[in-house]
């Protein structure tokens, strides 16, 4: 059976030991976010447990959290399914992110520790190494998630972080659904470069401005692809 790697809060690498339920939650969450578990697909607890190398109890605990986060839905007498991706949710999700992403970026520029800045700098190097011609959509999407989660963690506000992770997950599902129609996905991900630089340089106003622009560009790109 496949063993899950340990991953700390927010998706950054580190030495934090996680419970089986937390590890199951993060693994299943990211499968749902990346549409590796397709929208509308049934959720089989036993199969998930086998694929992750854990028992049913951690999987059940993880699924309770994922239902709260609107990534799965349970129907009486029918079972549990991956939530459908509803494009009409885009405006609501963007409305929240347009207010909170700039706040998180600005606070990250003010509060980022040396470790946060090192993590962001490392991600900046990874962004610089992305070859848009390769067209590796999955790699770009994973990198996008890592950058967002690192910024949220650097804001050092757990309530803000949890809220934004949930909304970014929902936005990413929409992005994955339309990924074949997006003309410049690499360019969208590469927008993170100047944002990371502003945070590492401790410029909250610039970081907030770039974060808002990034969210607005995302919504515009999706609407053009519909």
User: Would residue 4 count as lying in a domain?
Assistant: no
CA distance 149 to 78: 34
Is pLDDT at 10 greater than 50 in this prediction? Answer: no
pLDDT confidence of residue 177: 87
φ and ψ at residue 6, rounded to 5 degrees = -75, 135
> Integer distance in angstroms from the first to the last C-alpha of the chain?
40
Closest Cα partner for 196 from 145, 159, 150? 150
- Among residues 52, 82, 112, the one where a domain terminates is 82
Clarify whether residues 93 and 78 are in a common domain: no
CA distance 225 to 160: 30
For the chain, what is the domain count? Answer: 2
90-148 tens-digit pLDDT? 999 999 999 999 999 999 999 999 999 999 999 999 888 776 555 567 778 888 899 99
169-225 tens-digit pLDDT? 999 999 888 877 766 666 677 789 999 999 999 999 999 999 999 999 888 888 888
181 CB-side CA count, 13 A:
12
The residues, ordered by sequence, that sit 6+ positions from 1 with a Cβ below 8 Å of its Cβ are: 50, 51, 52, 53
Q: At 166, is the pLDDT very low, low, confident or very high (cuts 50, 70, 90)?
A: very high
Is pLDDT at 149 greater than 60 in this prediction? Answer: yes
- Among residues 65, 82, 99, the one where a domain terminates is 82
């Amino acid at each position: 059976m496949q063993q899950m790697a340990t991953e700390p809060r927010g998706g950054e690498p580190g030495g934090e030991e996680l419970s089986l339920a937390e590890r199951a939650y993060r693994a299943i969450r990211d499968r749902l976010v990346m549409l590796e578990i397709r929208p509308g697909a049934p959720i089989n607890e036993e199969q998930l447990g086998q694929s992750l190398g854990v028992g049913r109890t951690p999987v059940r605990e993880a699924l309770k959290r994922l239902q709260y986060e609107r990534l799965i839905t349970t129907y009486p007498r029918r079972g549990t399914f991956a939530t459908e991706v509803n494009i009409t949710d885009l405006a609501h999700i963007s409305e929240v992110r347009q207010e909170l992403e700039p706040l998180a970026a600005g606070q990250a520029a003010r509060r980022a520790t040396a470790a946060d800045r090192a993590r962001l700098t490392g991600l900046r190097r990874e962004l610089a190494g992305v070859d848009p011609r390769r067209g590796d959509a999955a790699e770009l999407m994973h990198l996008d998630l890592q950058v967002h989660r690192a910024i949220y963690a650097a804001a050092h506000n757990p309530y803000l972080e949890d809220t934004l992770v949930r909304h970014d997950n929902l936005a990413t599902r929409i992005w994955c659904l339309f990924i074949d129609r997006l003309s410049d996905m690499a360019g969208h991900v590469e927008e993170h470069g100047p944002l990371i630089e502003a945070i590492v340089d401790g410029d909250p106003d610039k970081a907030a401005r770039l974060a808002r622009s990034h969210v607005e560009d995302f919504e515009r790109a999706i609407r053009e692809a519909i």
